[in-house]
Chains A and B, each alone.
Chain A
Protein backbone atom coordinates (compact mmCIF):
# COMPACT_ATOMS: atom_id res chain seq x y z
CA UNK A 1 0.00 0.00 0.00
CA UNK A 2 1.74 3.08 -1.21
CA UNK A 3 -0.92 5.68 -0.65
CA UNK A 4 0.10 7.99 2.18
CA UNK A 5 -3.56 8.85 2.81
CA UNK A 6 -4.23 5.50 4.48
CA UNK A 7 -1.38 6.11 6.90
CA UNK A 8 -2.36 9.72 7.45
CA UNK A 9 -5.88 8.50 8.23
CA UNK A 10 -4.47 6.10 10.80
CA UNK A 11 -2.52 8.94 12.42
CA UNK A 12 -5.65 11.09 12.57
CA UNK A 13 -7.62 8.19 14.07
CA UNK A 14 -4.84 7.75 16.63
CA UNK A 15 -5.04 11.42 17.60
CA UNK A 16 -8.83 11.34 17.84
CA UNK A 17 -8.70 8.22 20.02
CA UNK A 18 -5.96 9.80 22.14
CA UNK A 19 -8.00 12.95 22.66
CA UNK A 20 -11.24 11.12 23.48
CA UNK A 21 -9.79 8.58 25.88
CA UNK A 22 -7.17 10.65 27.68
CA UNK A 23 -7.16 9.07 31.16
CA UNK A 24 -7.38 11.24 34.26
CA UNK A 25 -6.57 10.49 37.84
CA UNK A 26 -8.00 12.67 40.57
CA UNK A 27 -6.07 12.60 43.80
CA UNK A 28 -7.25 14.10 47.03
CA UNK A 29 -4.66 16.34 48.69
CA UNK A 30 -2.83 14.46 51.42
CA UNK A 31 -2.43 16.05 54.84
CA UNK A 32 -0.37 14.62 57.65
CA UNK A 33 -0.43 16.63 60.84
CA UNK A 34 -0.01 20.29 60.05
CA UNK A 35 1.57 19.59 56.68
CA UNK A 36 0.33 19.12 53.17
CA UNK A 37 2.30 16.28 51.59
CA UNK A 38 3.32 17.24 48.06
CA UNK A 39 4.64 14.96 45.34
CA UNK A 40 7.56 16.90 43.90
CA UNK A 41 10.31 16.42 41.37
CA UNK A 42 13.20 18.86 41.69
CA UNK A 43 15.10 17.98 38.52
CA UNK A 44 12.99 18.28 35.37
CA UNK A 45 14.73 19.44 32.20
CA UNK A 46 12.94 21.21 29.43
CA UNK A 47 13.46 21.94 25.73
CA UNK A 48 15.36 23.95 24.46
CA UNK A 49 18.94 24.16 25.76
CA UNK A 50 18.75 21.25 28.18
CA UNK A 51 18.82 18.08 26.05
CA UNK A 52 15.16 17.41 26.76
CA UNK A 53 12.21 16.47 24.56
CA UNK A 54 9.30 18.50 25.97
CA UNK A 55 8.72 22.23 25.63
CA UNK A 56 7.86 24.23 28.78
CA UNK A 57 4.09 24.10 28.10
CA UNK A 58 4.08 20.34 27.46
CA UNK A 59 6.24 19.80 30.54
CA UNK A 60 3.64 21.49 32.74
CA UNK A 61 0.87 19.30 31.28
CA UNK A 62 2.96 16.14 31.66
CA UNK A 63 3.83 16.97 35.28
CA UNK A 64 0.13 17.30 36.06
CA UNK A 65 -0.54 13.95 34.35
CA UNK A 66 2.21 12.30 36.39
CA UNK A 67 0.50 13.40 39.59
CA UNK A 68 3.13 15.94 40.60
CA UNK A 69 1.96 18.78 42.83
CA UNK A 70 5.16 20.74 42.27
CA UNK A 71 8.32 20.50 40.24
CA UNK A 72 11.49 22.43 39.50
CA UNK A 73 11.72 23.31 35.83
CA UNK A 74 15.45 23.04 35.44
CA UNK A 75 17.37 24.75 32.67
CA UNK A 76 20.93 23.62 32.14
CA UNK A 77 23.06 26.66 32.94
CA UNK A 78 20.07 28.90 32.30
CA UNK A 79 17.05 30.03 34.26
CA UNK A 80 14.86 31.55 31.56
CA UNK A 81 13.20 28.24 30.62
CA UNK A 82 12.19 27.73 34.25
CA UNK A 83 10.79 31.24 34.47
CA UNK A 84 8.84 30.67 31.24
CA UNK A 85 7.48 27.45 32.72
CA UNK A 86 6.35 29.18 35.90
CA UNK A 87 4.60 31.88 33.86
CA UNK A 88 2.82 29.22 31.80
CA UNK A 89 1.90 27.05 34.79
CA UNK A 90 0.19 29.98 36.49
CA UNK A 91 -2.00 30.42 33.42
CA UNK A 92 -2.68 26.72 32.97
CA UNK A 93 -3.56 26.06 36.63
CA UNK A 94 -0.79 23.52 36.48
CA UNK A 95 1.39 22.23 39.31
CA UNK A 96 3.54 24.71 41.20
CA UNK A 97 6.62 25.40 39.10
CA UNK A 98 9.83 26.43 40.79
CA UNK A 99 12.30 28.00 38.35
CA UNK A 100 15.62 26.21 38.67
CA UNK A 101 19.01 25.84 37.08
CA UNK A 102 21.24 22.82 36.88
CA UNK A 103 24.63 24.38 37.45
CA UNK A 104 26.51 22.13 35.07
CA UNK A 105 30.27 22.39 35.59
CA UNK A 106 33.13 20.03 34.73
CA UNK A 107 33.53 19.10 38.41
CA UNK A 108 30.07 19.01 39.96
CA UNK A 109 26.40 19.34 39.04
CA UNK A 110 24.01 21.22 41.31
CA UNK A 111 20.32 22.09 41.08
CA UNK A 112 19.64 25.65 42.21
CA UNK A 113 15.93 25.89 43.06
CA UNK A 114 14.07 29.14 43.61
CA UNK A 115 16.60 31.51 42.08
CA UNK A 116 15.93 34.43 39.73
CA UNK A 117 19.24 35.00 37.94
CA UNK A 118 21.53 32.36 36.46
CA UNK A 119 24.44 31.05 38.52
CA UNK A 120 27.87 31.24 36.86
CA UNK A 121 29.01 27.71 36.00
CA UNK A 122 32.65 28.75 36.48
CA UNK A 123 32.06 29.15 40.23
CA UNK A 124 33.33 26.59 42.69
CA UNK A 125 30.55 24.66 44.42
CA UNK A 126 30.92 26.82 47.54
CA UNK A 127 30.71 30.05 45.54
CA UNK A 128 27.69 28.79 43.63
CA UNK A 129 25.89 27.88 46.86
CA UNK A 130 26.62 31.33 48.29
CA UNK A 131 25.06 32.89 45.20
CA UNK A 132 22.03 30.57 45.44
CA UNK A 133 21.50 31.46 49.09
CA UNK A 134 21.88 35.18 48.33
CA UNK A 135 18.97 34.81 45.91
CA UNK A 136 16.85 32.95 48.47
CA UNK A 137 17.21 29.61 46.75
CA UNK A 138 18.08 26.09 47.83
CA UNK A 139 21.17 24.15 46.66
CA UNK A 140 20.75 20.46 45.81
CA UNK A 141 23.71 18.26 44.86
CA UNK A 142 22.67 16.62 41.58
CA UNK A 143 23.56 12.93 41.15
CA UNK A 144 26.64 13.26 43.41
CA UNK A 145 28.28 9.97 42.44
CA UNK A 146 31.95 9.32 43.24
CA UNK A 147 33.36 10.96 40.09
CA UNK A 148 31.94 14.32 41.27
CA UNK A 149 33.11 14.07 44.88
CA UNK A 150 36.33 16.07 44.30
CA UNK A 151 34.08 19.03 43.37
CA UNK A 152 32.35 18.87 46.76
CA UNK A 153 35.05 20.17 49.06
CA UNK A 154 34.63 20.97 52.75
CA UNK A 155 33.54 24.57 52.14
CA UNK A 156 30.81 23.41 49.76
CA UNK A 157 29.60 20.62 52.02
CA UNK A 158 29.28 23.05 54.90
CA UNK A 159 26.82 25.20 52.94
CA UNK A 160 24.99 22.54 50.90
CA UNK A 161 21.26 22.17 51.69
CA UNK A 162 20.21 18.94 50.02
CA UNK A 163 21.33 16.01 47.89
CA UNK A 164 19.72 13.60 45.48
CA UNK A 165 19.69 10.26 47.22
CA UNK A 166 17.58 8.47 44.64
CA UNK A 167 17.52 9.22 40.93
CA UNK A 168 17.57 7.29 37.61
CA UNK A 169 21.36 7.22 37.35
CA UNK A 170 21.11 4.10 39.53
CA UNK A 171 19.30 2.30 36.69
CA UNK A 172 22.17 2.89 34.30
CA UNK A 173 24.92 2.37 36.86
CA UNK A 174 23.74 0.27 39.81
CA UNK A 175 26.79 1.07 42.00
CA UNK A 176 25.62 4.69 41.96
CA UNK A 177 22.97 3.86 44.55
CA UNK A 178 25.64 3.21 47.18
CA UNK A 179 27.56 6.36 46.23
CA UNK A 180 24.44 8.54 46.45
CA UNK A 181 23.66 7.11 49.89
CA UNK A 182 27.25 7.65 51.07
CA UNK A 183 27.20 11.25 49.90
CA UNK A 184 23.84 11.90 51.54
CA UNK A 185 25.12 10.47 54.83
CA UNK A 186 28.07 12.89 55.00
CA UNK A 187 26.01 15.39 56.98
CA UNK A 188 22.38 16.23 57.64
CA UNK A 189 21.15 16.95 54.14
CA UNK A 190 17.58 17.21 52.92
CA UNK A 191 16.77 13.99 51.04
CA UNK A 192 15.76 14.46 47.42
CA UNK A 193 14.41 11.99 44.89
CA UNK A 194 14.44 13.35 41.34
CA UNK A 195 13.81 11.99 37.88
CA UNK A 196 16.46 14.12 36.09
CA UNK A 197 13.85 14.17 33.36
CA UNK A 198 15.08 14.49 29.79
CA UNK A 199 12.21 12.65 28.12
CA UNK A 200 13.32 9.02 28.13
CA UNK A 201 12.13 7.71 31.48
CA UNK A 202 8.88 9.05 32.99
CA UNK A 203 8.84 12.36 34.82
CA UNK A 204 8.53 11.80 38.56
CA UNK A 205 9.78 8.19 38.34
CA UNK A 206 11.87 9.15 41.37
CA UNK A 207 10.14 11.77 43.50
CA UNK A 208 10.28 13.63 46.78
CA UNK A 209 7.47 13.89 49.31
CA UNK A 210 7.64 17.41 50.65
CA UNK A 211 5.92 18.26 53.93
CA UNK A 212 4.97 21.86 53.27
CA UNK A 213 2.56 24.20 55.01
CA UNK A 214 0.91 24.93 51.65
CA UNK A 215 1.54 24.32 47.96
CA UNK A 216 3.41 27.50 47.14
CA UNK A 217 6.92 28.19 45.96
CA UNK A 218 7.90 29.84 49.24
CA UNK A 219 6.40 27.12 51.43
CA UNK A 220 8.18 24.41 49.43
CA UNK A 221 11.53 26.21 49.68
CA UNK A 222 10.98 26.64 53.42
CA UNK A 223 10.27 22.90 53.77
CA UNK A 224 13.43 22.05 51.83
CA UNK A 225 15.55 24.30 54.03
CA UNK A 226 14.02 22.70 57.11
CA UNK A 227 14.69 19.19 55.77
CA UNK A 228 11.01 18.18 55.75
CA UNK A 229 11.14 15.57 52.99
CA UNK A 230 10.82 11.83 52.60
CA UNK A 231 12.09 9.76 49.68
CA UNK A 232 11.45 6.10 48.87
CA UNK A 233 13.64 4.03 46.58
CA UNK A 234 12.48 1.05 44.50
CA UNK A 235 12.92 -1.32 47.42
CA UNK A 236 10.80 1.03 49.55
CA UNK A 237 13.79 1.97 51.64
CA UNK A 238 13.08 5.41 53.09
CA UNK A 239 15.35 8.45 53.42
CA UNK A 240 14.76 11.80 55.04
CA UNK A 241 13.35 13.13 58.28
CA UNK A 242 12.94 10.11 60.64
CA UNK A 243 9.98 11.68 62.43
CA UNK A 244 8.13 12.30 59.15
CA UNK A 245 8.94 8.77 57.97
CA UNK A 246 7.37 7.46 61.16
CA UNK A 247 4.34 9.73 60.85
CA UNK A 248 3.69 8.79 57.24
CA UNK A 249 4.26 5.04 57.59
CA UNK A 250 1.48 3.16 55.83
CA UNK A 251 0.43 6.25 53.87
CA UNK A 252 3.59 6.78 51.82
CA UNK A 253 4.72 6.00 49.24
CA UNK A 254 1.37 6.60 47.60
CA UNK A 255 0.40 5.58 44.08
CA UNK A 256 1.94 8.10 41.75
CA UNK A 257 2.74 8.34 38.11
CA UNK A 258 0.54 8.49 35.07
CA UNK A 259 -2.95 6.99 35.09
CA UNK A 260 -3.11 3.48 33.60
CA UNK A 261 -3.76 2.95 29.89
CA UNK A 262 -7.24 2.17 28.65
CA UNK A 263 -8.58 0.65 25.43
CA UNK A 264 -8.68 4.04 23.73
CA UNK A 265 -5.07 4.89 24.47
CA UNK A 266 -3.95 1.41 23.44
CA UNK A 267 -5.84 1.81 20.16
CA UNK A 268 -4.29 5.25 19.72
CA UNK A 269 -0.80 3.90 20.34
CA UNK A 270 -1.26 1.02 17.92
CA UNK A 271 -2.72 3.22 15.15
CA UNK A 272 -0.04 5.83 15.79
CA UNK A 273 2.84 3.39 15.44
CA UNK A 274 1.29 1.70 12.36
CA UNK A 275 0.49 5.05 10.74
CA UNK A 276 3.99 6.34 11.32
CA UNK A 277 5.57 3.16 10.03
CA UNK A 278 3.45 3.31 6.89
CA UNK A 279 4.17 6.98 6.29
CA UNK A 280 7.89 6.51 6.73
CA UNK A 281 7.98 3.70 4.19
CA UNK A 282 5.48 5.27 1.77
CA UNK A 283 7.28 8.60 2.01
CA UNK A 284 10.53 7.11 0.89
CA UNK A 285 8.97 5.31 -2.08
CA UNK A 286 6.87 8.16 -3.42
Chain B
Protein backbone atom coordinates (compact mmCIF):
# COMPACT_ATOMS: atom_id res chain seq x y z
CA UNK B 1 0.00 0.00 0.00
CA UNK B 2 2.86 2.36 0.78
CA UNK B 3 5.20 1.31 -2.05
CA UNK B 4 2.84 0.27 -4.83
CA UNK B 5 5.50 0.50 -7.54
CA UNK B 6 7.82 -2.16 -6.13
CA UNK B 7 4.91 -4.26 -4.84
CA UNK B 8 3.33 -4.35 -8.29
CA UNK B 9 6.62 -5.08 -10.00
CA UNK B 10 7.03 -8.16 -7.80
CA UNK B 11 3.40 -9.22 -7.95
CA UNK B 12 3.27 -9.11 -11.75
CA UNK B 13 6.11 -11.60 -11.95
CA UNK B 14 4.70 -13.90 -9.28
CA UNK B 15 1.04 -14.17 -10.25
CA UNK B 16 -0.31 -17.13 -12.21
CA UNK B 17 -1.68 -16.76 -15.70
CA UNK B 18 -5.35 -16.72 -15.06
CA UNK B 19 -8.53 -18.60 -15.55
CA UNK B 20 -12.07 -17.69 -14.59
CA UNK B 21 -11.47 -17.75 -10.86
CA UNK B 22 -8.52 -15.34 -11.13
CA UNK B 23 -10.66 -13.08 -13.28
CA UNK B 24 -13.63 -13.15 -10.92
CA UNK B 25 -12.12 -13.16 -7.44
CA UNK B 26 -11.09 -9.49 -7.44
CA UNK B 27 -14.45 -8.09 -8.61
CA UNK B 28 -16.34 -10.48 -6.33
CA UNK B 29 -14.22 -9.47 -3.34
CA UNK B 30 -14.94 -5.80 -4.02
CA UNK B 31 -18.69 -6.41 -4.37
CA UNK B 32 -18.64 -8.45 -1.14
CA UNK B 33 -16.62 -5.77 0.67
CA UNK B 34 -19.04 -3.03 -0.41
CA UNK B 35 -22.02 -5.14 0.66
CA UNK B 36 -20.44 -5.81 4.07
CA UNK B 37 -19.71 -2.10 4.47
CA UNK B 38 -23.32 -1.22 3.66
CA UNK B 39 -24.56 -3.75 6.17
CA UNK B 40 -22.31 -2.28 8.89
CA UNK B 41 -23.32 1.25 7.92
CA UNK B 42 -27.02 0.41 8.02
CA UNK B 43 -27.15 -1.90 11.02
CA UNK B 44 -23.79 -1.97 12.75
CA UNK B 45 -23.40 -5.69 12.10
CA UNK B 46 -23.37 -8.18 9.22
CA UNK B 47 -26.89 -9.24 8.27
CA UNK B 48 -26.62 -12.04 5.68
CA UNK B 49 -29.70 -10.85 3.78
CA UNK B 50 -28.37 -7.32 3.51
CA UNK B 51 -24.94 -8.60 2.43
CA UNK B 52 -26.45 -10.87 -0.26
CA UNK B 53 -28.70 -8.07 -1.52
CA UNK B 54 -25.78 -5.65 -1.45
CA UNK B 55 -23.57 -7.93 -3.55
CA UNK B 56 -26.27 -8.03 -6.25
CA UNK B 57 -27.09 -4.32 -6.10
CA UNK B 58 -23.48 -3.13 -6.01
CA UNK B 59 -21.81 -5.55 -8.42
CA UNK B 60 -22.01 -2.75 -10.99
CA UNK B 61 -19.07 -1.01 -9.28
CA UNK B 62 -16.40 -3.66 -10.03
CA UNK B 63 -18.02 -4.19 -13.44
CA UNK B 64 -17.61 -0.48 -14.22
CA UNK B 65 -13.99 -0.67 -13.11
CA UNK B 66 -13.31 -3.72 -15.27
CA UNK B 67 -14.95 -1.92 -18.21
CA UNK B 68 -12.60 1.03 -17.69
CA UNK B 69 -9.60 -1.28 -17.52
CA UNK B 70 -10.71 -3.17 -20.63
CA UNK B 71 -10.84 0.08 -22.60
CA UNK B 72 -7.20 0.93 -21.86
CA UNK B 73 -5.95 -2.67 -21.99
CA UNK B 74 -5.21 -2.54 -25.72
CA UNK B 75 -2.27 -0.24 -25.07
CA UNK B 76 -0.48 -2.73 -22.80
CA UNK B 77 3.08 -3.82 -23.41
CA UNK B 78 3.19 -6.61 -20.87
CA UNK B 79 2.55 -10.30 -21.47
CA UNK B 80 0.20 -10.92 -18.56
CA UNK B 81 -3.36 -12.01 -19.21
CA UNK B 82 -6.34 -9.74 -18.69
CA UNK B 83 -7.57 -12.01 -15.88
CA UNK B 84 -4.32 -11.57 -13.97
CA UNK B 85 -4.38 -7.84 -14.61
CA UNK B 86 -7.91 -7.56 -13.23
CA UNK B 87 -6.88 -9.55 -10.17
CA UNK B 88 -3.89 -7.31 -9.48
CA UNK B 89 -5.84 -4.16 -10.24
CA UNK B 90 -8.40 -4.94 -7.54
CA UNK B 91 -5.65 -5.82 -5.10
CA UNK B 92 -4.74 -2.13 -5.28
CA UNK B 93 -8.02 -1.03 -3.74
CA UNK B 94 -6.76 -1.27 -0.16
CA UNK B 95 -6.45 2.51 0.49
CA UNK B 96 -9.95 3.23 -0.81
CA UNK B 97 -11.48 0.31 1.07
CA UNK B 98 -9.74 1.34 4.29
CA UNK B 99 -11.13 4.84 3.90
CA UNK B 100 -14.60 3.40 3.24
CA UNK B 101 -14.34 1.19 6.32
CA UNK B 102 -13.31 4.18 8.46
CA UNK B 103 -16.16 6.24 6.94
CA UNK B 104 -18.69 3.51 7.63
CA UNK B 105 -17.61 3.23 11.28
CA UNK B 106 -17.80 7.02 11.54
CA UNK B 107 -21.22 7.33 9.92
CA UNK B 108 -22.66 4.47 11.88
CA UNK B 109 -21.41 5.98 15.13
CA UNK B 110 -22.54 9.57 14.60
CA UNK B 111 -25.70 10.77 16.14
CA UNK B 112 -25.93 13.74 13.85
CA UNK B 113 -22.78 15.69 14.36
CA UNK B 114 -21.96 19.36 13.94
CA UNK B 115 -21.60 20.50 10.31
CA UNK B 116 -17.80 20.80 10.61
CA UNK B 117 -17.55 17.01 10.89
CA UNK B 118 -19.44 16.57 7.63
CA UNK B 119 -17.02 18.92 5.88
CA UNK B 120 -13.96 17.21 7.39
CA UNK B 121 -15.27 13.87 6.17
CA UNK B 122 -15.79 15.28 2.67
CA UNK B 123 -12.26 16.71 2.65
CA UNK B 124 -10.77 13.35 3.67
CA UNK B 125 -11.82 12.08 0.26
CA UNK B 126 -9.20 14.28 -1.43
CA UNK B 127 -6.01 12.55 -0.19
CA UNK B 128 -7.53 9.10 -0.55
CA UNK B 129 -8.57 9.77 -4.14
CA UNK B 130 -5.06 11.01 -4.89
CA UNK B 131 -3.42 7.98 -3.27
CA UNK B 132 -5.75 5.54 -5.04
CA UNK B 133 -4.91 7.26 -8.30
CA UNK B 134 -1.20 6.88 -7.56
CA UNK B 135 -1.59 3.16 -6.78
CA UNK B 136 -3.46 2.59 -10.05
CA UNK B 137 -0.90 4.67 -11.93
CA UNK B 138 1.81 2.33 -10.65
CA UNK B 139 -0.32 -0.65 -11.68
CA UNK B 140 -0.65 0.68 -15.23
CA UNK B 141 3.05 1.42 -15.35
CA UNK B 142 4.51 -1.73 -13.80
CA UNK B 143 1.92 -4.44 -14.43
CA UNK B 144 0.43 -3.36 -17.75
CA UNK B 145 3.58 -1.65 -18.94
CA UNK B 146 1.59 1.20 -20.42
CA UNK B 147 3.48 3.77 -22.44
CA UNK B 148 1.38 6.62 -21.12
CA UNK B 149 0.11 5.45 -17.72
CA UNK B 150 -1.21 8.91 -16.79
CA UNK B 151 -3.42 9.11 -19.85
CA UNK B 152 -4.59 5.51 -19.39
CA UNK B 153 -5.49 6.26 -15.79
CA UNK B 154 -7.53 9.25 -16.94
CA UNK B 155 -9.41 7.17 -19.52
CA UNK B 156 -9.97 4.29 -17.09
CA UNK B 157 -11.36 6.71 -14.49
CA UNK B 158 -13.52 8.50 -17.07
CA UNK B 159 -15.16 5.27 -18.23
CA UNK B 160 -15.56 3.86 -14.73
CA UNK B 161 -16.91 7.04 -13.13
CA UNK B 162 -19.28 7.76 -15.98
CA UNK B 163 -20.83 4.32 -15.58
CA UNK B 164 -20.85 4.60 -11.80
CA UNK B 165 -22.55 7.99 -11.76
CA UNK B 166 -25.07 6.90 -14.42
CA UNK B 167 -26.21 3.95 -12.30
CA UNK B 168 -25.95 5.63 -8.91
CA UNK B 169 -27.41 9.01 -9.84
CA UNK B 170 -29.34 8.29 -13.02
CA UNK B 171 -31.78 10.86 -14.33
CA UNK B 172 -31.16 13.33 -11.51
CA UNK B 173 -27.72 14.12 -12.91
CA UNK B 174 -28.65 16.86 -15.35
CA UNK B 175 -30.97 18.90 -13.10
CA UNK B 176 -28.48 18.41 -10.25
CA UNK B 177 -25.70 19.79 -12.40
CA UNK B 178 -27.83 22.78 -13.43
CA UNK B 179 -28.63 23.43 -9.78
CA UNK B 180 -24.96 23.35 -8.82
CA UNK B 181 -24.11 25.73 -11.68
CA UNK B 182 -26.87 28.08 -10.59
CA UNK B 183 -28.71 27.79 -13.92
CA UNK B 184 -32.39 28.58 -13.33
B105 at the interface (CB under 8 A from A): yes
| B48, A19: Cβ atoms closer than 8 Å | yes
Is A135 in the interface zone, CB < 8 Å from B? Answer: no
Flag if B175 contacts A105 (CB, 8 Å): yes
Within 8 A of A (CB), among B32-50: 33, 36-50
User: Contact at B41–A77, with CB atoms within 8 Å?
Assistant: no
B115 pairs with A199, CB closer than 8 A: no
Partner of A58, one of B46, B49, B90, B183: B49
Q: Are A280 and B44 in contact (CB under 8 A)?
A: no
Judging by beta carbons under 8 Å apart, are B57 and A18 in contact? no
B19 CB–A CB distance under 8 Å? no
Instruction: Find out whether the CB atom of B44 lies under 8 angstroms from the CB atom of A269.
Output: yes
Known: A47-B57, A284-B94. A276 touches B101 (CB 8 A): yes
> How extensive is the interface on chain B, given as a class?
35 or more
- Please measure, in the bound complex, the distance between the C-alpha atom of A121 and the C-alpha atom of B175, giving whole angstroms: 8
In the complex formed, the residue of A with least CB distance to B101 is A276
A185 to B58, CA, bound (A): 42
Q: Output the least CB separation between B78 and chain A (Å).
A: 19
Tell me if A106 and B57 are in contact (CB < 8 A). Answer: no
- Given A104-B176, A172-B118, A280-B101: A272 in contact with B46 (beta carbons within 8 A): yes
Q: Identify A279's interface contact among B33, B45, B53, B57, CB under 8 A.
A: B33
Contact A171 B113 (CB under 8 A): yes
Chain A count of residues within 8 A CB distance of the other chain:
57
Q: Is the CB of B178 within 8 A of A283?
A: no
Given the known interface contacts A107-B184, A272-B39, A273-B101, the answer about A284 and B171 at a Cβ–Cβ threshold of 8 Å is: no
A51-B168, A280-B97, A280-B98 given; A261·B91 CB < 8 A: no
Find residues 43-59 in chain A having any chain B CB closer than 8 Å to their own CB.
47-51, 53-55, 57-58
Q: Which of B29, B113, B170, B176 is in CB contact (< 8 Å) with A48?
A: B170
Whether A58 contacts B53 by the Cβ 8 Å rule is yes
Cβ contacts under 8 Å, B57 to chain A: 47-48, 54-55, 58
Residue pairs across A and B with Cβ atoms less than 8 A apart, 29 shown, are A11-B36, A15-B46, A15-B47, A18-B47, A47-B58, A47-B168, A50-B169, A51-B172, A53-B41, A53-B42, A55-B57, A58-B57, A61-B49, A76-B170, A104-B179, A105-B175, A107-B179, A107-B184, A121-B175, A201-B107, A265-B43, A266-B45, A268-B46, A272-B39, A272-B45, A283-B90, A283-B91, A284-B7, A286-B91
